[in-house]
Amino acid sequence: GAGVSQSPSNKVTEKGKDVELRCDPISGHTALYWYRQSLGQGLEFLIYFQGNSAPDKSGLPSDRFSAERTGGSVSTLTIQRTQQEDSAVYLCASSFQDNQPQHFGDGTRLSIL
């Protein structure tokens, strides 16, 4: 597709379960970003990939959060042992280079019961 694609669009899971969120960036975009949008916290940066490397992981809130990117394309954000405070919309963005405007996906709405 032409835009950033994220899946699933909605995810409901029980506290303590692991979840995986997927992002397909725009073809040819080398930079990929994960953000989290939650009530009271606004939009927060989580992690940045350049190719398959993650030079900036400073926004990951705890060691339960991890992410990887393969083939310079698809990225997966994994949250282990989910907690209720992890409930949020997780947004992925990509750009041609890290100094170019970012294009966002529609996000994954994660709800932890």
The window from 12-20, 63-71, 76-84, 104-112 that contacts another protein (CB under 8 A) reads 104-112
Helix (H, G, I), strand (E, B) or coil at 29: coil
One of 60, 67, 107, 110 touching another protein (CB under 8 A): 107
What is the distance of C-alpha 11 from the center of its chain? 14
Residue 31 found at the interface with another protein (CB under 8 A): yes
Residue 95 found at the interface with another protein (CB under 8 A): yes
In angstroms, the CA 31 to CA 48 distance is 7
One of 24, 33, 69, 90 touching another protein (CB under 8 A): 33
One of 25, 26, 35, 90 touching another protein (CB under 8 A): 35
Q: Please, are residues 104 and 91 in contact by the beta-carbon 8 Å criterion? A: yes
Per-residue x/- marks for another protein, 47-86, CB under 8 A? -x-x----xx--x---------------------------
In angstroms, the CA 110 to CA 113 distance is 10
Which residues touch 32 (CB under 8 Å, ≥6 apart)? 23, 25, 48, 49, 69, 75, 92, 93, 94
Contacts with another protein, residue ranges (CB under 8 A): 4, 31, 33, 35, 42-45, 48, 50, 55-56, 59, 91, 93, 95, 97-107
